[in-house]
């Protein structure tokens, strides 16, 4: 009991004592009666004093108990903080073990700095042991009992840690030791994830006795006996000391850990509260000022009541102002569906006054006549409580002038102070303007889609005209050559063979033109192109006739270089051939300038950076032309930008897009002493995947 409670109790006891005194004085007149009254008064006063002293002792004892409970709560908080720091240390260990030897050094350092850690294990995702480290401060804990015999609780903790993606603690279990004794231990399992994938677990074994000694014994074990207990009171670990001959105070607190819950108990011995002179002095003072205190308390109570009434009036006024300023309509109904309250926003929404709506039953005046039957059924379902609370639904209301508008209604049970449902409270939002904006946005989106389709058609036409120039030019060249050979009526058989070869080339280039049309069509529509494993040599062999044809016209020598044992690349063959043709043509045209240097175009294929899972093949096209100016370099890949009078500015933009769709990268750099080299990469198909 608190001192305030004692002060409130003293006037009541005094008033009862005076009432009993007056009643006894009236019932027992004379000297004998007065002595009896004095005896009764003294007995009553002594009883009051004894009661007050006992209550004061109880209060001081409760203070000691509260102090012990605060110490217990602080101990639990300190323990949780230390365990959280251990989790952070284990996370640091997980992120810094490039090798087993380095991991072992870090684990030994962690065990050396924390006596309560007995063992650290590094396990794979299947909980197979990869590496372990025992505390250097004591003998190994699993020296007598094999680790596999105690792994079931650890497995459960690791499964829980995997599901929660955080630390999980196992139940404590008894572990015998080689010295004939044993200890209670528990495991903490922390998953190790890299890049969102589980790569293993780190298991940390704690000794409950060591946790108490290292973390709680110094701060809380001087005046208390600290222990971990089972829910039934069985002690698992204990530390600290008690002083004999004093009263025992006990406090318990749950240590709620993920996957496990321990009970921390503090038993403390304290001296009994002193009765003299503090309590008696306080009692005399309290009895002396009791009457004045009663008057002061009455005056304060009157002021508090007046203040409470003013606060209540201000709160009601504030609530009324807040409800009136809302743009959301509020509507309250009782359990029978009768409207009991509407705010001004709702009245303005439906065009009716509050007096016209309050007390109304279904059908409501703001319901459209054609929907009355449907609304009655929904109204009955709502009032029956079958609909889930706070679930919004859309409806249509009617204003007083007959216009319809869409609303969103959110209703929830109206609960009184006593916890009983007294009706339903609904929030009504006018969403007609929102629906109008959504309709406008939908129409605008449709127009944008139509415009985008038109732009796509234009882009496809531009790409087709750009990419078909090469096969059509080749067809024209082969056709003119065939006509020249056929002009001689006495053509030799070799000439006829050349004509047959030219016709085959014309057929090949016509087929190639068809493939270009299909590939560009799929490219513009962003479809998934059919990709296949193609040898790099085959890509260069396919474009060799066209490259050599233009090289002879421009007097350019073409050199092809391959690295040995190149893996095949996974690509859309037609589009990649177009990339090589565009880069080769640009390189030869860059050398179409008067120069003393020999015109040489180098097509080179070599391996790029790769690892066990991904490999890359690099293609490069080098020329000895005039190079690329600085102002041109900044916008070289910009669509429709070109430095050629007859160019369209789509070649390099298309090349970069095709390479990036394959996951590669297209770049260029100056070639010393003169020229430019373009490089791009394509994904390689690894040999083990081909075998699979």
3-state secondary structure 49-94: HHHHHHHHHHHHHHHHHHHHHHHHHHHHHHHHHHHHHHHHHHHHHH
Instruction: Write out the two tokens for 40.
Output: 């009764």
The total of other beta-carbon atoms located within 10 Å of residue 41's CB is: 16
- Distance, in Å, from the CA atom of 511 to the CA atom of 474, rounded to the nearest integer, reads 12
Partners of 655 in beta bridges: none
- The CA–CA distances, whole Å, from 665 to 308, 433, 682 equal 75, 49, 8
CB atoms within 10 A of CB 654: 21
So what's the pLDDT on residue 168?
92
Topology of domain 326-430 in CATH is Beta-Lactamase (3.30.450)
Q: CB of 506 within 8 A of CB of 475?
A: yes
Q: What is the pLDDT of residue 74?
A: 86
State the Cα–Cα distance between residues 520 and 471, nearest whole angstrom.
14
What pLDDT score does 1 carry? 46
Task: Report the 10 Å Cβ neighbour count for 45.
Answer: 14
- pLDDT attached to residue 385: 64
How far apart, in whole angstroms, are the C-alpha atoms of residue 212 and residue 266? 11
- What gap in Å lies between CA 255 and CA 78, rounded to an integer? 11
Two tokens at 436? 């109008």
Q: How far apart are CA 498 and CA 492, in angstroms?
A: 10
Every domain of the chain and the residues it spans: 100-268, 326-430, 438-527, 530-691
Confirm or reject CATH 3.40.1640.10 for domain 530-691, answering yes or no. Answer: no
- Supply 685's token pair: 């198909």
Output the pLDDT for position 283.
59
326-430: same fold as 100-268?
Answer: yes
- Six-digit token pair at 471? 């096969």
CATH of 100-268, one of 1.10.3300.10, 3.30.450.20, 3.40.50.10140, 3.40.140.10: 3.30.450.20
- pLDDT, residue 605, reads 93
Retrieve residue 34's tokens.
């007065």
Q: Bridge-partner residues for 395, per DSSP? A: 407
State the 10-residue block means of pLDDT for the chain, 692 residues long. 48 53 51 54 63 66 79 86 88 74 85 88 88 87 85 89 90 85 90 85 89 79 81 80 65 86 80 51 59 64 80 79 74 81 82 81 81 79 63 78 82 79 79 80 70 52 59 71 66 62 72 65 55 89 84 87 90 85 87 76 87 79 86 74 61 82 88 88 72 40
Count the alpha carbons within 13 Å of 236 in the hemisphere toward its beta carbon. 25
pLDDT at res. 158: 93
Quick one: DSSP state of residue 676? E
User: In the prediction, which pLDDT does 692 show?
Assistant: 40
């Amino acid at each position: 009991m608190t001192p305030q409670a004692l002060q409130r109790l003293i006037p009541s006891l005094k008033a009862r004592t005076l009432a009993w005194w007056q009643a006894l004085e009236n019932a027992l007149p004379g000297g004998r009666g007065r002595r009896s009254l004095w005896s009764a008064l003294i007995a009553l006063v002594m009883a009051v004093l004894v009661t007050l002293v006992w209550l004061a002792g109880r209060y001081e004892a409760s203070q000691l108990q509260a102090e012990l409970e605060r110490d217990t709560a602080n101990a639990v908080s300190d323990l949780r903080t230390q365990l959280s720091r251990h989790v952070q240390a284990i996370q640091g260990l997980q992120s810094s073990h490039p090798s087993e030897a380095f991991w072992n050094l870090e684990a030994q350092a962690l065990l050396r700095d924390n006596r309560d850690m007995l063992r650290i294990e590094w396990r794979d995702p299947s909980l197979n042991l990869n590496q372990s480290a025992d505390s250097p401060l004591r003998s190994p804990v699993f020296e007598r009992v094999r680790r596999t015999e105690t792994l079931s609780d650890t497995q459960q903790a690791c499964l829980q840690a995997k599901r929660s993606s955080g630390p999980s603690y196992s139940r404590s279990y008894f572990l015998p030791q080689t010295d004939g004794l044993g200890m209670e231990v528990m495991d903490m399992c922390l998953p190790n994830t890299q890049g969102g994938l589980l790569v293993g677990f780190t298991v940390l074994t704690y000794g409950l006795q060591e946790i108490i000694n290292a973390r709680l014994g110094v701060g809380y074990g001087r005046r208390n006996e600290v222990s971990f207990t089972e829910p039934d009171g069985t002690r698992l670990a204990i530390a600290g000391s008690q002083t004999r001959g004093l009263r025992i105070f006990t406090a318990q607190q749950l240590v709620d850990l993920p996957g496990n819950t321990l009970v921390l108990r503090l038993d403390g011995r304290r001296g009994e509260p002193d009765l003299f002179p503090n309590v008696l002095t306080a009692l005399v003072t309290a009895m002396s000022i009791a009457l004045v205190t009663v008057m002061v308390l009455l005056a304060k109570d009157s002021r508090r009541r007046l203040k409470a009434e003013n606060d209540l009036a201000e709160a009601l006024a504030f609530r009324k102002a807040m409800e009136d300023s809302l743009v959301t309509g509020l509507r309250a109904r009782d359990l029978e569906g009768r409207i009991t309250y509407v705010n001004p926003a709702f009245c303005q929404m439906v065009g009716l006054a509050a007096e016209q709506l309050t007390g109304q039953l279904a059908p409501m005046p703001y319901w459209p006549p054609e929907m009355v039957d449907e609304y009655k059924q929904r109204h009955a379902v709502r009032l029956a409580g079958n609909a889930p609370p706070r679930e919004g639904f859309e409806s249509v209301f009617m204003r007083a002038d007959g216009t319809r508008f869409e609303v969103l209604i959110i209703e929830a049970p109206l609960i009184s102070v006593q916890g009983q449902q007294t009706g339903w409270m609904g929030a009504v939002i006018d969403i007609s303007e929102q629906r109008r904006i959504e309709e406008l946005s939908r129409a605008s989106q449709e127009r944008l889609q139509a415009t985008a389709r038109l732009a796509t058609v234009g882009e496809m036409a531009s790409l087709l005209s750009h990419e078909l120039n090469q096969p059509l030019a080749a067809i024209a060249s082969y056709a003119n050559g065939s006509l020249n050979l056929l002009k001689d009526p006495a053509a030799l058989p070799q000439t006829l063979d050349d004509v047959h070869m030219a016709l085959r080339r014309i057929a090949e280039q016509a087929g190639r033109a068809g493939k270009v049309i299909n590939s560009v069509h799929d490219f513009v529509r962003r479809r998934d192109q059919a990709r296949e494993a193609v040898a790099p040599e085959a890509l260069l062999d396919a474009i060799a006739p066209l490259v050599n044809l233009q090289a002879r016209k421009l007097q350019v020598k073409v050199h092809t270089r391959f690295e040995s044992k190149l893996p095949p690349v996974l690509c859309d063959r037609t589009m990649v051939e177009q990339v090589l043709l565009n880069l080769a043509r640009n390189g030869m045209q860059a050398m179409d300038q008067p120069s003393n240097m020999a015109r040489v175009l180098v097509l080179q294929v070599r391996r790029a950076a790769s690892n066990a899972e991904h490999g890359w093949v690099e293609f490069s096209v080098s020329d000895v032309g005039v190079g690329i100016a600085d102002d041109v370099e900044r916008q070289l890949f910009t669509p429709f930008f070109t430095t050629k009078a007859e160019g369209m500015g789509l070649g390099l933009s298309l090349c970069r897009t095709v390479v990036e769709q394959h996951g590669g990268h297209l770049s260029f750099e100056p070639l010393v002493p003169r020229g430019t080299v373009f490089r791009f990469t394509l994904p390689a198909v690894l040999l083990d995947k081909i075998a699979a």
